[in-house]
A and B are shown apart, each in its own frame.
Chain A
Amino acid sequence: MNTPKELRYSEEHEWVQVEGEKVRIGISDFAQSELGDIVFVELPEVGDEITVNEPFGSVESVKTVSELYAPVSGKVVEINEELNDSPEFVNESPYEKAWMVVVELSDSSEVDKLMTAEQYEEMIKE
Chain B
Amino acid sequence: MHKEDQPLIFELSTPGRVGYSLPEMDVSETDLSELLPEGFLREEEPELPEASELDIMRHYTALSKRNHGVDSGFYPLGSCTMKYNPKMNENVARFNGFAHLHPLQDESSVQGALELMYDLQEHLIEITGMDEVTLQPAAGAHGEWTGLMMIRAFHEANGDHNRTKVIVPDSAHGTNPASATVAGFETITVKSDENGLVDLKDLKKVVGEDTAALMLTNPNTLGLFEENILEMAEIVHGAGGKLYYDGANLNAVMSKARPGDMGFDVVHLNLHKTFTGPHGGGGPGSGPVGVKADLIPFLPKPIVTKQDGVYKFDYDRPQSIGRVKPFYGNFGINVRAYTYIRTMGPDGLKAVTEYAVLNANYMMRRLAEYYDLPFNRHCKHEFVLSGKRQKKLGVRTLDIAKRLLDFGYHPPTIYFPLNVEEAIMIEPTETESKETLDAFIDVMIQIAKEAEENPEVVQEAPHSTVVGRLDETTAARKPILRYQKAE
Q: Do A and B bind each other?
A: yes
Please list the residues of chain A having a beta carbon within 8 angstroms of any beta carbon in chain B. Answer: 36-37, 39-40, 60, 62-64, 87-88
Whether the Cβ atoms of B473 and A37 lie closer than 8 Å is yes
Quick one: CB contact mask for B377-418 with A, threshold 8 Å, 1 for yes? 000000000000000000000100000000000000011101
A40-B476 contact given A63-B415, A64-B418, CB 8 Å threshold = yes
Residues of B within 8 A of A40 (CB): 476
Shortest Cβ distance from B479 into A: residue: A39
* Contact for B477 among A36, A63, A64, A88, CB less than 8 A: A88
A30 to chain B, nearest CB (A): 13
| A39 to B479 Cα, complex, angstroms | 11
B172 to chain A, nearest CB (A): 14
Whether the Cβ atoms of B472 and A37 lie closer than 8 Å is yes
Smallest CB-CB A-B distances: 7 pairs: A39-B476, A37-B473, A62-B472, A63-B415, A64-B415, A39-B477, A62-B473
In chain B between 461 and 487, which residues have their CB closer than 8 angstroms to a CB of chain A?
472-473, 476-477
Please list the residues of chain B having a beta carbon within 8 angstroms of any beta carbon in chain A. Answer: 398, 414-416, 418, 472-473, 476-477
Q: Is the interface of B mostly helix, strand, loop or mixed?
A: helix
Shortest Cβ distance from A34 into B: residue: B421
Residues of A within 8 A of B476 (CB): 37, 39-40, 60, 62
- A-B contacts, 21 listed (Cβ < 8 Å): A36-B398, A37-B472, A37-B473, A37-B476, A39-B473, A39-B476, A39-B477, A40-B476, A60-B476, A62-B472, A62-B473, A62-B476, A63-B398, A63-B414, A63-B415, A64-B415, A64-B416, A64-B418, A87-B477, A88-B473, A88-B477
Residues of A within 8 A of B416 (CB): 64
Residues of B within 8 A of A37 (CB): 472-473, 476
Residues of A within 8 A of B473 (CB): 37, 39, 62, 88
Shortest Cβ distance from B174 into A: residue: A65
| A39 to B414 Cα, complex, angstroms | 18
| A39 to B473 Cα, complex, angstroms | 7
Residues of B within 8 A of A63 (CB): 398, 414-415
| A40 to B472 Cα, complex, angstroms | 13
B99 to chain A, nearest CB (A): 40
Candidate in A62, A64, A88 with the most chain B CB atoms within 10 angstroms: A62
| A37 to B376 Cα, complex, angstroms | 32
Shortest Cβ distance from B397 into A: residue: A63
| A62 to B472 Cα, complex, angstroms | 7
Residues of A within 8 A of B414 (CB): 63
| A37 to B473 Cα, complex, angstroms | 6
Residues of B within 8 A of A39 (CB): 473, 476-477
Residues of A within 8 A of B418 (CB): 64
Candidate in B414, B415, B418, B476 with the most chain A CB atoms within 10 angstroms: B476
B195 to chain A, nearest CB (A): 20
Known: A36-B398, A64-B415. 4 other contacts (CB 8 A): A37-B473, A39-B476, A40-B476, A62-B476
| A24 to B415 Cα, complex, angstroms | 30
Residues of B within 8 A of A36 (CB): 398
